[in-house]
Structure 1
Amino acid sequence: MNRGFPFFAAIALAASAFVASAAPSAATQREISGLMQALETSGCRFQRNGSWHESAEARSHLQRKYDYLLKRNLADTAEQFIDRAASRSSISGKPYRVACPGAAEQDASTWFQQQLQRQRQSRT
């Protein structure tokens, strides 16, 4: 019987659990922070479950959702944040909407994707 195998199996399991619980990369954290900041400073209104909210309140709500996702390792990319937190209500499933001054109302997922592309283009 090989007594070394259980030890190495335990080490491998512990290492995979550590990797699974790793935080998003610093670049991803910057992108998500940038998305939150873009929302808060946009002057846009944010619709959630049929009610409109000012941008600072919307940011606070999305921060809570992001924190929830972080605890469960479900936001490894900015795209995952947009899809899992910033696009629709996790309770009703209804899409979030964004209305900005001088622009047509649109789905929040589209708005956040546009903001993410702007961020990425400004870095290049």
Structure 2
Amino acid sequence: MQALMLRALGIGLALFSTLLAAAPTPPGVRAELDGLFAELQRQQCKLYRNGSWHEAAQARQHMLRKLAYLEERGTVQSAEQFIEQAATKSSTSGKPYEVQCGQAPAQPSRTWLLAALAAQRKARAASAP
């Protein structure tokens, strides 16, 4: 009986710690990520992953799923963390992602996302009072 109670307590603590680890992304970071996902769509960029190209809306949905996956495991502390951990390669195959916008040549998703993030931050800083 005591062993069963200890086991139940252990399971309860494990579930509780899992709930504590899962946390939403801070609002400022989430705003930056939403801006990146919107820019993917605004520029009608395609995302190359696991051997095929995906249109902008699909790319955005895929990135949102990856963000949700990371949030289930803890808080995403920065846009750079999300890019490095989830937006540069397939977690299944390990193959790198590429982004192609319009007629521009394809480039590694890391390169495109970091450049778009820098542009977003520069524009926000320029418009700040």
| TM-score, normalisation: structure 2 | 0.76
Aligned to 1:36: 37
Distance in 2 (alpha carbons) for counterparts of 1:31 and 1:102: 25
Identity of aligned residues (%): 44
* DSSP 3-state at the match of 1:75: coil
Q: 1:72-83 counterparts in 2 under 5 A? A: 72-83=73-84
SS at match of 2:25: coil
Q: CA deviation at 1:105?
A: 1.1
Aligned to 2:120: 119
**What is the DSSP-based 3-state SS (H/G/I as helix, E as strand, rest coil) of the residue aligned with 1:24?**
coil
**Counterpart contact for 1:74–1:80, Cα < 8 Å:** no
Match of 1:12 in 2: none
1:102: how far off? 2.8
Counterpart residue number, 1:51: 52
Question: 1:122 is paired with a residue of what secondary structure?
Answer: helix
Q: Distance in 2 between matches of 1:21 and 1:71?
A: 5
Within-5 A mapping of 1:93-108: 93-108=94-109
Secondary structure, in 3 states, of the residue corresponding to 1:99? strand
- Whether the 8 Å contact between 1:49 and 1:89 is mirrored in structure 2 is yes
Q: Deviations over 1:41-61 (max 9, x none)?
A: 211211011100101001111
Q: Deviations over 1:22-42 (max 9, x none)?
A: 533211110011111111221
Q: Could you say if the C-alpha distance between residues 18 and 56 of structure 1 is closer, same or farther in structure 2, counting changes exceeding 3 Å?
A: closer
Q: Is the 8 A contact 1:23 1:76 kept in 2?
A: no
Runs of 4+ in 1 over 6 A off after TM superposition: none
What is the aligned residue count?
109
| Residue in structure 1 matched with residue 85 of structure 2 by the alignment | 84
Q: Unaligned 5+ residue runs, structure 1?
A: 1-16
**TM-score, with normalisation over the residues of structure 1?**
0.79
